[in-house]
Structure 1
């Protein structure tokens, strides 16, 4: 009996599938709603952009050719290599700007562009041909880019504020990484530049004389007081509840900045893709950044609240629980105590996250600050509504509260709420005071 070797590439399935080919994942694909026939990918699906040539995995991908490998929007590079792919695409023709179309090329042959003119903008158009010989009706367009031979950029590239186990040259703590986007071999003297967490104090940390960063290289800076340790240390720590970092030139001119909210333990934030957009990342200091998979916000629950502090706690708080095993982004979400207010409430900072299976408590003190929500809760009765731009994700209605007693979800059975004699912000709820256990309408 003859045998056949099977290969599976760029697919999601059980762990046994991983060695069958390249690009395979063992993850929840996060389909929108398969029960209702919605088989598209949720915004946080790990299958997004994880298919061949940067396409999504699965069947819901656009027909025709795909293009990857374009430079960043502005670049010093005068050459580029673009890869053409696409479902069922076996050949293609291309042109740059309004130049003549190329001859037909096999899909395995990339597009090599050289001697691109300084000061000019470029865009590549591609017609793809499928297995049946049919050409797509309208061309696929690449992202445009501009060549500027003088372009150089020093930027903040990766930040780790909640570090428990990631070490860098023997150091365990906060880390900040810089990257110099410039031709290899070209150097930048950082002497006198500043990196600060206070916009009004641009040189809280000043680079000492002799610090040089080469083009396309990284500089990793531990965030702590020096205390006799070797290497360059910032002299201040990072706040896992959120803060800003500001990179300044010698004269105080702002060169780059990032502002973030609540961070996930042992996950960094970093710049990704040609647009260098900030996102949750796997710590890769000294190397190119890698994205960290995240879960959907629909897995978040309002887990505990405290509205009447007297002895144990001074401030009110609201605690969220993430039922997903993956971190979830809180940026773009908000909490309101007013059901008549529409989609208006206390918004979470961009680049805020909650860990997989984790609890996160936020003080409800009526001001905007790291770890706090700009609202106050009534001790008489009220609403707590967690929502995104489409509507509520979770909603509780509570009755009169007692001093120093919190209320929230019971771990078992699901769907029940109770009062807790010992509030536990940031941790699982304890056994309730049974006399006040009740079901709340959602």
Structure 2
């Protein structure tokens, strides 16, 4: 076989300003297509990983064995092709950019970056030589970049076509690009600004420049092969750190006022000037792309559509995964005592395209009442803007106010996760306001219909409570005491844990019994997929940790000793990531039925929520769990979890019942009982008594209001003459 290195002649092709593709003239196999943000289009192993396509430019099969791919020039052999990897003549081969070795195909073990990077193909030599490379900037969801024509053409934005000839994506005009929102004084981090594309097609940004000084239009260059989505938004960090990625610029913003401009050469595509800015308040256009500028105090929205919040109406319930006789539906709730006229408003599933379904004139939401829109209305196939909701990936409901056919910029929206068949999601009221979660059952008004026509007669109804269980997140140790030495203070990540509890009376399988390779997982703050066959016994506990309990026996032993964990409590790990000391979201997800043909993402495995906790290290969450040796513990496993009122801080109890009260002493003498017990903050207590336990009748005999700190309480009860027994119990409830 002809050796590739005998034909090398290096070409350096400059693209845009300082970004390049590197190729070897006459190279047999080249990088041909790259997809860095695969969300919904190409499925492998039930997931949608990023991918890379190589193309054999010759008519003869080529062996890739020993060649390699890498996104790091210092580690050219990140992924090495196995011996005997053959790509046929004038054919393509795809490499998945993930580490899921249980799925079919080859897996690079690294993911691609949506904010840009450099990717290279290397020879099989002992000292690898670069054969081909591409450097790209900002990438778009579900679109790829590729050579057109295959193997030899320039890199362009493409429609994803793995294993098939590349197909260029039509691009829009740069004339509708607008500086749309910015924040020049943030207490949480760096300055930022947002770019909006008012065109209905993607727009290429490569080679354009940003500046805060109009006399220096070329101050910060956007890397080649950077794009912005149609009617989309792109966030840029103004931190003077362009080396961190294509979404960073080489200047900062002045809170006292200055300019932001985007240029093509010396021509300004858009230039805005602003004055004094307020801390943590953004400024921008309302509606998006318009000439009207306002301050956003409560609706800061970097990288998303600008808006002011509608406060008189709420998205109350959504069902997106249905079979006849039901169909998708959205329920609105009027939060006021006055009717609301929705004539000419719009319903959509996209903040970028809010004007999809125009609500008919005369549509009224009654005072404190409900209104339901059904799929036959917003998915009318005669409409060019008909839409449905994506139950497999989750979606968004957007209600936008409009007057005389024009958006006012006021809206409400509700994002929701993937959902199981027949399960609706809706507003759940907590101690800190409204949350949105899977409900026990749908409540659109007619919820056991015989026909879809009957279902459509529902006028709305109050929501049921949220689903809870069968497994709950029961305890979170997110900030163990720091490891302090004479020279440093470090996070104690090895002592972090998440406890899960089965609140049912039967085994819970943490996998799909029909598709056993599809297992439950933790997501968001940390990610962890349970192994096939994992289950939790009735009322049982399991723990997930950041170290590997299978390979790190010494750490496992130290962990069990530290927390007094018995050997029968199973410990799993390691997770990826860490639990933030400042607060984060922990999610427990289970696999739903894989998407079936002819669905576009057939084989994709949706993951639906089982439990979700968004904890914080500030009030009203228990602050004592933030580095003081206490853990966050769930007060009631059968009550909704994402509510700080259902959590307290206490001595860690992994693998055991959470104890919201500790009995210090019980004394009986001189005709009275004296019981001392310690309570935790923000929890109210009551003592109840019963004369027997055979057929108990509990009577409340004392109450103790919630306090801001732990307290030593005392209960005294007089014992009647001749009374031989009495039983007591202490109940804990969240403070109102």
TMscore range, shorter length: 0.5 to 0.7
Kindly provide the CA deviation profile for residues 24-61 of structure 1, in whole angstroms up to 9, marking residues without a partner as x. Answer: xxxxxxxxxxxxxxxxxxxxxxxxxxxxxxxxxxxxxx
Superposed counterparts of 1:9-408, under 5 Å: 151-170=26-45, 171-183=47-59, 186-251=60-125, 252-273=128-149, 275-310=152-187, 313-341=188-216, 343-368=217-242, 369-370=244-245, 371-408=247-284
Kindly provide the CA deviation profile for residues 156-202 of structure 1, in whole angstroms up to 9, marking residues without a partner as x. Answer: 0001111122124555120110001112xx22211111100101110
DSSP-derived class of the 2:107 partner: coil
Among candidates 295, 303, 306, match of residue 419 of structure 1: 295
CA distance in 2, matches of 1:372, 1:412: 22
What corresponds to 1:88 in structure 2? none
Structure 2, unaligned stretches of length 5 or more? Answer: 1-24, 310-736
DSSP-derived class of the 1:339 partner: coil
CA distance in 2, matches of 1:191, 1:226: 21
Structure 1, unaligned stretches of length 5 or more? Answer: 1-149, 433-442
CA distance in 2, matches of 1:260, 1:413: 27
Kindly provide the CA deviation profile for residues 348-382 of structure 1, in whole angstroms up to 9, marking residues without a partner as x. Answer: 11000000011110111101222211211111110
Larger radius of gyration: 2
> Cα distance 1:161–1:413, how it changes in 2: closer, same or farther (>3 A)?
closer
Shift of 1:414: 3.2
CA distance in 1, matches of 2:79, 2:232: 34
> Cα distance 1:250–1:316, how it changes in 2: closer, same or farther (>3 A)?
same
DSSP-derived class of the 1:172 partner: coil
CA distance in 1, matches of 2:169, 2:307: 31
CA distance in 2, matches of 1:236, 1:332: 28
CA distance in 2, matches of 1:413, 1:249: 48
**Higher mean displacement: 384-393 or 410-419:** 410-419
DSSP-derived class of the 1:221 partner: strand
CA distance in 2, matches of 1:413, 1:194: 45
CA distance in 2, matches of 1:294, 1:315: 31
> Cα distance 1:352–1:385, how it changes in 2: closer, same or farther (>3 A)?
same
DSSP-derived class of the 1:351 partner: coil
Shift of 1:412: 7.7
Kindly provide the CA deviation profile for residues 73-126 of structure 1, in whole angstroms up to 9, marking residues without a partner as x. Answer: xxxxxxxxxxxxxxxxxxxxxxxxxxxxxxxxxxxxxxxxxxxxxxxxxxxxxx
Shift of 1:228: 2.3
DSSP-derived class of the 2:175 partner: helix
Aligned pair count? 279
Shift of 1:153: 2.0
CA distance in 2, matches of 1:181, 1:215: 7
CA distance in 2, matches of 1:163, 1:348: 22
RMSD, matched Cα: 2.0
Kindly provide the CA deviation profile for residues 263-313 of structure 1, in whole angstroms up to 9, marking residues without a partner as x. Answer: 111110000138510000111110111110010111110000111111xx3
Greater relative contact order (Cα < 8 A, sep 6+): 1
> Cα distance 1:246–1:413, how it changes in 2: closer, same or farther (>3 A)?
closer
What corresponds to 1:431 in structure 2? 308
**Higher mean displacement: 315-324 or 205-214:** 205-214
CA distance in 1, matches of 2:260, 2:78: 40
Residues 218 and 263 of structure 2 are in contact (CA less than 8 Å); yes or no, is this contact kept in structure 1? no
Shift of 1:229: 2.1
CA distance in 2, matches of 1:177, 1:315: 36
Shift of 1:415: 1.3
Kindly provide the CA deviation profile for residues 235-283 of structure 1, in whole angstroms up to 9, marking residues without a partner as x. Answer: 0111111111110112310000011111111110000138510000111
Shift of 1:226: 2.6
TM-score, length of structure 1 as denominator length: 0.61
TM-score, length of structure 2 as denominator length: 0.37
Shift of 1:402: 1.1
CA distance in 1, matches of 2:300, 2:225: 28
What corresponds to 1:65 in structure 2? none
Residues 114 and 138 of structure 2 are in contact (CA less than 8 Å); yes or no, is this contact kept in structure 1? yes
CA distance in 2, matches of 1:320, 1:301: 6
> Cα distance 1:294–1:235, how it changes in 2: closer, same or farther (>3 A)?
same
